[in-house]
Structure 1
Amino acid sequence: MNHDHDIPRMGQGLYWQDLQVGQRWRTFRRTVTEADLVNFINATGMLEAIFIEDGYEGGAIRGRPVPGALTYTFIEGFILQSMIQGTGLAMLELHQKILAPVLVGDTIGAVVEVTGVRPTSQGNRAVVTSRITVSNQRGEPVMEYTATRLLAGRQTA
């Protein structure tokens, strides 16, 4: 008989019972590269001149700006790999505000703050709301968003 289910899973995310309003975490940081930009715009079709032409004359931003969607997905990747791996059930709502451009060569990271935990009436689940503030290497906020997710609860015996 295999009893491996009693061994904790490496990288397991947090269950809603582990969360409380006001808890905060810092994500790891990541430097955005030219390869990241090229791969992202090719995968998504975001072939806008400001992203594909270095020094685009019609652009309002100096340097190599990256789509806000790329910034968001890098931070969500950190959150998925740590906070919600195996416990995240659904993204229910997202409100996002871009505060400043992110350029190739910038290093981004975020602070995640739990702002709400509301258990549902069935299924051992909860609606969890968090505020995510993304900053660059200078500590300047570049994006803020709130995410409302459905998270699983701890298994009951």
Structure 2
Amino acid sequence: MPQAEAAKAPDLAMARLGQGFVWQDLSVGQCFRTFKRTVTETDLVNFIGVTGMLEAIFIEEGYEGGAMPGRPVPGALTYCLIEGLILQTMIQGTGLAMLELQQKIFAPVVVGDTVQAVVEVTEIRPTSRSGRAVVASRIDVWNQKNVLVMSYTAKRLLAGRAPAGD
């Protein structure tokens, strides 16, 4: 165990592990790939339970009125899983608000699919307040077969570095 005098106390000047990007660290055209996430039966059951999306295709295994094989999941669940991956990395501690969202779903996601996203920064517009900026991005969500399952655009309010002297 290190001696007390050798230990370093937390200091606000130290870089924080897991801290997201401030808008000044981003540029239009910059792209990122998220981690992958496999959708589980537990994800589906918990999501439909908490949201009340108790539609037969989500709650009944092998629903005879279903239009496809497998156990489909709500598009909202796919979106939420990807947003969780983005939040945990790109905007952790710097994302201030989701301002606008437009979404298109192209293909189903079923339990057992693995999804990931490509995030492209499409616009950065600094605001006049507190060094913040509105950052727009396009998020394309792909399954394990490289099929585009969802695409959405998002405008978020992101924090910036404090100006010198603040």
For Structure 1 versus Structure 2, the TM-score category normalised by the shorter chain is over 0.9
User: Which residue is equivalent to 1:109?
Assistant: 116
Is 1:88 aligned to 2:95, yes or no?
Answer: yes
Is 1:75 aligned to 2:111, yes or no?
Answer: no
TM-score (norm: length of structure 1): 0.96
The alignment's C-alpha RMSD in Å is 1.0
**Deviation at residue 104 of structure 1 after TM alignment:** 0.3
User: Which residue is equivalent to 2:6?
Assistant: none
User: Which residue is equivalent to 2:4?
Assistant: none
User: Which residue is equivalent to 1:124?
Assistant: 131
- Structure 2: give runs of 5+ residues left out of the alignment: 1-8
- Write out aligned runs for 1:43-58 (5 A): 43-58=50-65
**Deviation at residue 3 of structure 1 after TM alignment:** 6.5
User: Which residue is equivalent to 2:11?
Assistant: 4
Distance 1:156 1:116 in 2: 21
Which digits, 9 at most, give the CA deviation of each residue in 1:115-146, with x for residues without a partner? 00000122210000000000000100000000
Flag as ranges the 4+ runs of structure 1 deviating above 6 A.
none
Distance 1:27 1:16 in 2: 18
Aligned length: 156
Distance 1:25 1:5 in 2: 27
Which digits, 9 at most, give the CA deviation of each residue in 1:78-132, with x for residues without a partner? 1001110111010000000011000000000000000000001222100000000
Distance 1:122 1:136 in 2: 39
Identity %: 72
- Structure 1: give runs of 5+ residues left out of the alignment: none
TM-score (norm: length of structure 2): 0.91
- Write out aligned runs for 1:18-33 (5 A): 18-33=25-40
Q: Which has the larger radius of gyration?
A: 2
Relative to structure 1, the CA distance from residue 58 to residue 21 in structure 2 (aligned partners, 3 Å threshold; closer, same or farther) is same
